[in-house]
Structure 1
Amino acid sequence: MIRPVFGILVFLAIFHFPAIESQSQRNLVTSKIEFSALRCRKHSAILTDFGAVGDGKTSNTKAFKKAISKLSQMATDGGGAQLVVPPGKWLTGSFNLTSHFTLFIQQGATILASQDESEWPVIAPLPSYGKGRDGTGAGRFNSLISGSNLTDVVITGNNGTINGQGQYWWDKFKKKQFKLTRPYLIELLFSKNIQISNITLIDSPSWNIHPVYCKNVIIKSVTVLAPVTVPNTDGINPDSCANTLIEDCYIVSGDDCIAVKSGWDQYGIKFGMPTKQLSIRRLTCISPKSAGVALGSEMSGGIKDVRIEEVTLTNTESAIRIKTAAGRGGYVKNIFARRITMKTMKYVFWMSGDYNQHPDEGYDPKAFPEVTNINYRDMKAENVTMSGSLDGIDKDPFKGICISNVTIALADNAKKVQWNCTNVAGVTSRVKPEPCSLLPEKKAPMKNDEDCVFPSDLIPIESVVLKKCFV
């Protein structure tokens, strides 16, 4: 039965959900919570209808699974269904979502990740990685919230929280006690029409949000908070995904705020699914030991057509970092970035061709990556240690680099040599401090409309208009 002390709206009678409707629900006087979503739902339920207890101590894994199973049956009429997580602390292990489904986490509600490993099923490594990302081939723990081969899934709220309680996992990983890859908070595989928005993620065991082999993905107004001293707590990692929008997110992390990926060495090459048509805009990032946006290091399926704009970076190791190596294969090409504001940076521009972590000995050392058509413009930075460290690969240089209209103010302890460039080629215009000789000033000064290019068109997901929904 519903617990009206939570004061949450659930109009089950209106939505014709007789399987779980109660007299108290019919008599409940409520106020609407409005939110935006790809789809609104015909059916609705509240987690407590399935025996959940929000005391932060009782396991609710069975309640989540029971609720989603029941709602999946109700969603088959085309109207979809939503599960409301009300205020409280809801301890749970891993659970899978269903299609045509909304998980709504209300303000004041916290989904707490269990620290009991038995509540985390073990699953096979991703096919484009070949083994667990934490350096073992034994498999990996399923993510807290996951799903595969789904259509039309929304994870949202009015700033509800998912807390990964990561300390247990961080300590054990640091001691090298895991034979399995740590779980992520949210991972969806082989799915389409996905929205993750208006929630806060705290203390993930490892990566926070990982859409992989997905298309048509919106990640919007998400806050990610992780200790800056903990590695592998990446914020958002689109991986072999097409047509993805990441906007209006705030991320504090011990690793890359956003890491764009597409598989690892020979496994990623064989799987052959690139990340493409990706828009990242209005990102705020703090990451003292890593990048605002990283392209790679696992990029063996290819990364192309990435647009990055209106980004604010504070106390972050680098702005946009390209990470690859011989053996990766694949490509990073057609990358466009503009309007980046930075304060307290180790590097502004960083490209690494020697990121030599490999899944096993089966990789091809002659599988060289292609890095070309990389465009940066309209950037300002202050308190910077080094302007650029750009290192391509011997006999496989990074080409087509363009940097224009960039002003970098140096820190008191700045490096005497501001640009280190090897095996790269490109041009610059109106960049201070003066770049290295491999990135010469374009002889004919570029006019404003002739700066490094940024596409004028939109990727399809940027034109999607969300619907006004209620819970």
Structure 2
Amino acid sequence: MRTQGSHALLSPKSLSHAIHVLIGSTAFVASFACAATQAPVQTSWGTTAAEPSLPAASAVCTTLTARRTPVNGSLDASDADPSKSAPDTEDLQSAIDHCAVTGGAVKLVAVANGPSGFLSGPLTLRSGVTLWLDKNVTLFASRNPKDFDNGLGLCGIANKTDKVSCYALLNGNHVDNAGIVGEGIIDGRGGSLLTGGANKGLRSWWDVAYQTKTSSVTQHNPRLLNINGGNHFTLSGVTLQNSPNFHVVLDGMDDVLAWNVKILSPSLAYTVQGNACPKGTTPDAKTPATCFTPDTVKNTDGFDPGESTHVVLAYSYISTGDDHVAVKAGSGKGSQHLLFSHDHLYAGHGMSIGSETNTGVSDMTVEDLTVDGHDGSNSVGIRIKSDVSRGGAVSDVVYRGVCMRNVRQPLVFDAFYSSTKTKKSYPSFTGIEVHDFHDLGSVAYGGGQATFEAYASYPLRIVLDNVQFDGTQPTTYLKGHNGGPGTLPANTVFTLGPGPVSFAKAMEQKHGNGVSFDGAVTQSPAPRDCTSAFVPMSSVLATAPL
């Protein structure tokens, strides 16, 4: 937990005792037990974040025992009747609403003989209440769109309307001192056939989403966790998987700690080992799919801390069909003070900023990052993306200590991410630094592609220091896109060194307009040691196909 004034986490020793979190002039007291097992991390804003402890037994106001028995990680055999699509919603919501213990927790536990689950529609989280999913417990989402519809009657279809029409499974507005913890799973069941609405028995949530790939429509699918506003929110130990849409959205919040979180789409319930789906089984926008890959579970972002400040994501594992992380700044006060530390990324579209950067992103640090893209056709490593319709200032972003392999686009800094005729504000990427970056190459794409593209009036300013690729070097001499400069790199001020940059000479020989090279290579360290960096996601999450 953190103290509100300084956003500092207490030491692991202090976490074993009662702690006090100040909310204005009112003391919020909670008891915790359990020693930290992973090293604390130091933030750029002067605080230390440590592994959260589970609530003490005295903090548990309600314990609910799961009643459903999953079969191969699925409840599809038990909820075909849409009138019985969310039998546990009332009990779960009542437990959350009536938790009167200060700093209390609602604990979900399994039956004694193995994995078990709850089946629910949308739930609303409350301030001061932690949802604790114990080991072997899965909170399954309903697959009946009617349960999630917010009154527009659109949830579960794809059409030309872009209005938000679905509640998330877990919702919250201005939630303070709350969280979701434990070793359990929250499963959105994105690949299960819908049991109600126009697509009843015809499409799953992910089939609906795939229609956006084949025609100009908007999907109406629910998110897994969506909170707007609040302070001091904790995610710890839990797995969030198979979301119909984004997995975690924490917008307009201050002081977020996400520690040892696993985010996955698709799980083995909807794919096969290695995501090696047989031909003809994946989505085609016409017939329901029976197997999914990361490339066919559209818009399943992992962790999106939109418009939030003092955010830590540490020791976490993410594999999705879209951005692993998407830091956005589309309204409000923007996003500042973010730390991503000791994280592992797999299939997906990268550790990303954007594409909405209107209100600014600043003071972001990424340290000890491992990316294994599994040669996905859309695999991305680290990326800053925006365009003139939603651009803004992105500044003081540091990547330090990165191991990467099997990624098609390892480095992307792109101010022309989308084609647009609307000109509101120009993207400006300055104070970007990449240190101790080591790419081991890709079987399918060699060194992949590195994109450096900005506007002449707002050049990209980037430091590259000890950035090394093994074997084939990344292609940097590219054609511009979406109305951008004709040849890349373009409109970029590179500061090289003091460590070497393995592809610098190629860029110096061939590049577009507005490119300059400052700095000097004065050191020759070995590439970052990635010997022990890569671990299978299945080693930390049994439901992972990778």
2:467 corresponding residue in structure 1: 406
Q: 1:313 to 1:53 in 2, by over 3 A?
A: closer
Q: 1:354 to 1:162 in 2, by over 3 A?
A: same
**Which stretch of the first structure deviates more once superposed, 140-149 or 60-69?**
60-69
Deviations along 1:391-435, whole A, 9 cap, x unmatched?
A: 11243322x3111011111349x6495994111113112111225
Count of aligned pairs between the two proteins: 391
1:278 aligns with 2:306: no
Contact 1:61 1:94 in 2 (8 A): no
1:341 corresponding residue in structure 2: 403
Note the 1:289-300 alignment, pairs <5 A. 290-291=349-350, 293-300=351-358
Deviations along 1:172-226, whole A, 9 cap, x unmatched?
A: 1223597663211111111211111111222111111111111110111111121
2:259 corresponding residue in structure 1: 220
**Which stretch of the first structure deviates more once superposed, 189-198 or 416-425?**
416-425
Deviations along 1:68-100, whole A, 9 cap, x unmatched?
A: 33443342x534232324341222111111111
CA distance in 1 between counterparts of 2:160 and 2:517 reads 41
With a CA cutoff of 8 Å and minimum separation of 6, indicate the structure with the bigger relative contact order: 1
Deviation at 1:319, TM superposition (A): 2.0
Deviation at 1:37, TM superposition (A): 3.7
2:369 corresponding residue in structure 1: 311
Alignment partner for residue 253 of structure 1, among 299, 305, 320? 320
CA distance in 2 between counterparts of 1:396 and 1:33 reads 49
1:139 aligns with 2:209: no
Deviations along 1:153-184, whole A, 9 cap, x unmatched?
A: 120112x1111111211101223597663211
1:432 aligns with 2:502: yes
Q: Which runs of 5+ in 1 are unaligned?
A: 1-31, 125-132, 449-471
Alignment partner for residue 105 of structure 2, among 78, 81, 99? 81
Q: Which runs of 5+ in 2 are unaligned?
A: 1-32, 37-51, 153-157, 192-203, 266-292, 479-486, 509-514, 526-546
CA distance in 2 between counterparts of 1:330 and 1:138 reads 25
CA distance in 2 between counterparts of 1:283 and 1:232 reads 21
Q: 1:385 to 1:69 in 2, by over 3 A?
A: same
Counterpart amino acid of residue 345 in structure 2: C
Contact 2:321 2:347 in 1 (8 A): yes
Alignment partner for residue 122 of structure 1, among 147, 150, 153? 150
**Which stretch of the first structure deviates more once superposed, 184-193 or 225-234?**
225-234
CA distance in 1 between counterparts of 2:346 and 2:221 reads 23
Contact 1:65 1:96 in 2 (8 A): no
Contact 2:95 2:106 in 1 (8 A): no
User: In structure 2, the residue corresponding to 1:204 is in which secondary structure?
Assistant: coil
Contact 1:140 1:180 in 2 (8 A): no
Q: 1:357 to 1:241 in 2, by over 3 A?
A: farther
Note the 1:187-206 alignment, pairs <5 A. 187-206=226-245
User: In structure 2, the residue corresponding to 1:345 is in which secondary structure?
Assistant: coil
CA distance in 1 between counterparts of 2:60 and 2:148 reads 29
RMSD, aligned CA:
3.1
Counterpart amino acid of residue 304 in structure 1: S
**Which stretch of the first structure deviates more once superposed, 431-440 or 231-240?**
431-440
Please report the TM-score for the alignment, with normalisation by the length of structure 2. Answer: 0.65
Counterpart amino acid of residue 118 in structure 1: K
User: In structure 1, the residue corresponding to 2:342 is in which secondary structure?
Assistant: strand
Please report the TM-score for the alignment, with normalisation by the length of structure 1. Answer: 0.75
Q: 1:225 to 1:74 in 2, by over 3 A?
A: closer
1:166 corresponding residue in structure 2: 190
Q: 1:330 to 1:85 in 2, by over 3 A?
A: farther
Deviation at 1:354, TM superposition (A): 1.3
Q: 1:339 to 1:134 in 2, by over 3 A?
A: farther
Alignment partner for residue 92 of structure 1, among 97, 116, 120? 120
User: In structure 2, the residue corresponding to 1:47 is in which secondary structure?
Assistant: strand
Counterpart amino acid of residue 415 in structure 2: G
Deviation at 1:439, TM superposition (A): 5.0
Q: 1:60 to 1:410 in 2, by over 3 A?
A: same
Counterpart amino acid of residue 44 in structure 1: C
User: In structure 2, the residue corresponding to 1:385 is in which secondary structure?
Assistant: coil
1:445 aligns with 2:522: yes
2:273 corresponding residue in structure 1: none
Counterpart amino acid of residue 154 in structure 1: G
User: In structure 1, the residue corresponding to 2:306 is in which secondary structure?
Assistant: coil
Q: 1:91 to 1:66 in 2, by over 3 A?
A: closer
CA distance in 1 between counterparts of 2:456 and 2:222 reads 37
User: In structure 2, the residue corresponding to 1:170 is in which secondary structure?
Assistant: helix
Indicate the percent of aligned positions where both proteins have the same amino acid: 22
1:106 corresponding residue in structure 2: 134
Q: 1:84 to 1:348 in 2, by over 3 A?
A: same
Contact 1:67 1:83 in 2 (8 A): no
Contact 2:88 2:119 in 1 (8 A): no
2:307 corresponding residue in structure 1: 240
